[in-house]
Chains A and B, each alone.
Chain A
Amino acid sequence: MKIVTTVKRVTDPDMKVKIKPDGTGIVTDGVEYRMNYFDEYGVEEAIRLKQEHGGEIVVVSVGADASTKEIRTALAMGADRGILVETDEELDSDAVARVLAEVIKEEAPDIVLMGKQSVDTDRNQAGQMLAAYLGYPQATFAFELKVADGWATVGREVDGGTSTKRVKLPAIVTADLRLNEPRYASLPGIIKAKRKKIDRKTPGDLGVDTANRVNVLQYEAPETRAAGQIVESVDELIEKLRTEAKAL
């Protein structure tokens, strides 16, 4: 079984985000980066699928040269080889999906495992768009995955509950948090990863024009929350909800 899994280098979601004074982006000086949490679940699931079915895991990242670190982490966890599609541009989800589609066409995997969204921009689009560009079936928000006889059975977390979907392989599956518990990259794994291969390409090599179709005009911080108030009576509460909060 051949598995492609994707990883994105993201700003650490635990840090405090600061927006540049001119609103063109966030301040990246002194910022820590890490692998998108949801992608860790995808990589872990790929390793478990390989343990069960055998095969090869190819880990793909689209991003700057520094993304090799996130690829190496996936290799240290147990993936077999890496592909970096190198670009210093900030791509929108659509461009990422079109780049990935070309990689998938070359690699021809049985299944593609991705995080359901990245924790930096939280757009939740790349997996779905990738499925559309490839004409593959998709099963998003997976909390359970079983593969047999050329089909994947995917338990999905949806609004109001769960659902089960069967998709014919090859397919795109995006991982939710309860899919598994990602392993740590062990020290022997880190050392082995050093000898694993990472191929480098550019979007140009793949014939993809990455000009963004969605452009970010301005970053703004949400309004800071006003302090709470203690009211004396229900009547006063209703009055304030009506006049100040305009919630009624």
Chain B
Amino acid sequence: MADFFNPTEEHKQLREMVRSFAEREVAPQAEEHDRAERFNVDLFRRLGSELGLLGVTVPLEFGGSGMDATAAVIVHEELAAADPGFCLAYLAHSMLFVNNLAVNGNDDQRQRILPGACDGTLIGGMCMSEPNAGTDVLAMGTVAREDGDHFVLDGQKMWITNGAISDSELGDVFLVYAKQEERSSRALSLFLVEKGTPGFSLGQKIHNKLGMRASTTAELVFDGVRVPKENLVSAPGGAVKSMMRNLAIERVTLAAMSLGIARRSIEIMNDYARDRAAFGQPLNRFGQIQRHIAESYAEYMAGRAYTYQVASQLSLDAFGNRLDSDGVKLYCSTMGKNVADRAIQVLGGYGYVGEYQVERLWRDAKLLEIGGGTIEAHHKNMTRDLSGLDKLL
């Protein structure tokens, strides 16, 4: 019963459960929340309270489900096929916050925060990018100054998914990367910052995004935010390693989102090309259309095989998978966008309007070439890693 994409019976059951939930509960609300630029908080909490998906990779003792990177890929692939925007909020919470804390936090932090984050009571996110520092992450300007038994954080963070859960309300809890003491330093530290801490506020909820509009994106402001020392995650100045570890699973699950987008796009263009006739024949009898469909499928399956292969080798607490975790995202993000683009082309005028979903999938797909690492960042990282190799095994 097991196969390459469902290596155990539990993976298969997980996929079927998520697909069934995604088709019945997630897909029907996608267009409305995209149009309104609104995050469906109630549906999101059900992923935790009802399905146990918010802590997919978290050890059982902290309220999670204790599964592996492949399971995380399955959940993202299936949710993104229904609603990539909603799935992005899931990713920011479950991978960037929850998995990050589960891997890098100490037992006290994990016991205090993870059960609520796994059951959907708390909604979390991760803060790395800043208004003036993205790919060049070590150029960040947020600093944490030690003051007695506290750290004092000053700075701004930008493009934070789940930074707000509505137009005016902050998310509940964040992992924030900051430099210790001085901006010139290359050492980063990681802090847990909770809503309600004085000086921590919502700068703005970002509006008019091209896609991923069913998730919120925000600018967050840290103005003399006093964070108790027990909220320092991993060693002071040692957060670059934590960051690298978590970036690997982030990129593999972002690649999985592109797979979901590609699958849905292929299903839609395939159905349409079978049913719609022109010049007395179904569209799929025409070579130009056949090329769109066949190339899309082959590229999707190639990306899928690469992603599941990398996921199967990815240990959540190790780092050093950068070449291929960047590689799957580099390949799949552009593949997903191209497949959605071909779906629009096959559907013609119908593809250009909301009812047939593919225009939304295309808008959502574009973000994956930018967020979680631009494709240019992947080029840089991969070439650097490859430059140390003489032969590929």
Chain A residue with the shortest CB-CB distance to B75: A187
User: Is A194 an interface position by the 8 A CB rule?
Assistant: yes
Alpha-carbon distance between A184 and B24 when the two chains are bound, in angstroms: 11
Contacts of B20 in A (CB 8 A): 184
- Residue contact A187 to B56, C-beta cutoff 8 Å: yes
Q: Which residues of B contact A (CB under 8 A)?
A: 1, 9-10, 12-14, 16-17, 20-21, 50-53, 56, 60, 65-67
User: Is A8 an interface position by the 8 A CB rule?
Assistant: no
- Residue contact A69 to B1, C-beta cutoff 8 Å: yes
Give residues of chain A (175-211) contacting chain B, Cβ–Cβ below 8 Å.
Answer: 183-191, 193-194
User: Is A81 an interface position by the 8 A CB rule?
Assistant: no
- Residue contact B50 to A187, C-beta cutoff 8 Å: no
Ranked 5 nearest A-B pairs via Cβ:
A187-B52, A188-B52, A186-B52, A187-B65, A190-B13
Tell me whether A72 and B51 are in contact in the complex, defined as CB-CB below 8 angstroms, given that A184-B17, A184-B20, A187-B14 are known contacts.
no
B51 vs chain A, min Cβ distance (A): 5
Q: Which residues of A contact B (CB under 8 A)?
A: 34, 66, 69, 72-73, 76, 183-191, 193-194
- Residue contact A184 to B10, C-beta cutoff 8 Å: no
Tell me whether A76 and B13 are in contact in the complex, defined as CB-CB below 8 angstroms, given that A66-B1, A184-B21, A187-B65 are known contacts.
yes
Contact of B65 among A66, A73, A188 (CB under 8 A): A188
A-B contacts counted at CB < 8 A amount to 48
Contact of A191 among B10, B50, B51 (CB under 8 A): B10
Chain B residue with the shortest CB-CB distance to A34: B16
Contacts of A190 in B (CB 8 A): 10, 13-14, 17
A171 vs chain B, min Cβ distance (A): 31
Alpha-carbon distance between A186 and B9 when the two chains are bound, in angstroms: 14
Contacts of A69 in B (CB 8 A): 1, 9, 12-13
Alpha-carbon distance between A187 and B50 when the two chains are bound, in angstroms: 9
Alpha-carbon distance between A34 and B10 when the two chains are bound, in angstroms: 15
23 A–B contact pairs at CB < 8 A?
A34-B16, A66-B1, A72-B9, A76-B17, A184-B50, A186-B51, A186-B52, A187-B14, A187-B17, A187-B52, A187-B53, A187-B56, A187-B65, A188-B60, A188-B65, A189-B52, A190-B10, A190-B13, A191-B65, A191-B66, A191-B67, A193-B13, A194-B9
Alpha-carbon distance between A76 and B14 when the two chains are bound, in angstroms: 10
**Could you say which of A73, A76, A186, A187 has the most chain B C-beta atoms within 10 Å of its C-beta?**
A187
- Residue contact A73 to B50, C-beta cutoff 8 Å: no
**Could you say which of A73, A188, A190 has the most chain B C-beta atoms within 10 Å of its C-beta?**
A190
Chain B residue with the shortest CB-CB distance to A65: B1
- Residue contact A184 to B13, C-beta cutoff 8 Å: no
- Residue contact B1 to A185, C-beta cutoff 8 Å: no
Alpha-carbon distance between A91 and B65 when the two chains are bound, in angstroms: 39
**Could you say which of B13, B16, B21, B53 has the most chain A C-beta atoms within 10 Å of its C-beta?**
B13
Alpha-carbon distance between A76 and B297 when the two chains are bound, in angstroms: 33
Contacts of A76 in B (CB 8 A): 13, 17
Alpha-carbon distance between A189 and B10 when the two chains are bound, in angstroms: 10
A124 vs chain B, min Cβ distance (A): 25
- Residue contact B9 to A187, C-beta cutoff 8 Å: no
Alpha-carbon distance between A136 and B50 when the two chains are bound, in angstroms: 36
Alpha-carbon distance between A185 and B53 when the two chains are bound, in angstroms: 11
A84 vs chain B, min Cβ distance (A): 14
Chain A residue with the shortest CB-CB distance to B8: A194
Alpha-carbon distance between A10 and B361 when the two chains are bound, in angstroms: 32
Chain A residue with the shortest CB-CB distance to B66: A191
- Residue contact A184 to B65, C-beta cutoff 8 Å: no
Contacts of B13 in A (CB 8 A): 69, 72-73, 76, 185, 190, 193
A192 vs chain B, min Cβ distance (A): 10
A59 vs chain B, min Cβ distance (A): 15
Chain B residue with the shortest CB-CB distance to A194: B10
